[in-house]
Amino acid sequence: MKKKSLLWQLSGSELPGNSYLFGTMHVHDSRAFALMPLLEKYIAACDRFVAEYNLAETREVSEEVLQLLASPIPWAEQLGERKFQKIRRILKKTTGIDVEQYRKLLPFFIVQQLSHRILPFQEDMPLDLRLFTYAEKLGKELDGIESWKGQFNYIQNIPIEKQIKMLVDFARHPASVRKQYKRLITLYQQQDIYRLHRSLKKQSGHYRKKLLYERNFKMADRIHELCQTGRTFTAVGAGHLTGGKGLIRLLKHKGLTVKAILPEPELVPSSSFNES
Q: What is the pLDDT of residues 103-123, one digit of tens each?
A: 999 999 999 889 988 999 999
Contacts of 36 (CB under 8 A, 6+ apart): 130
Q: Under a CB-based contact definition with an 8 Å cutoff, are residues 232 and 223 in contact?
A: yes
pTM, entire model: 0.91
Mind listing the pLDDT tens digit for each residue in 198-246?
988 887 777 787 778 889 999 999 999 999 999 999 999 999 999 999 9
Q: What is the dihedral of CA 121, 126, 131, 133, to 10 degrees?
A: -100
Q: Which of 30, 18, 21, 19 is nearest to 3 (CA)?
A: 21
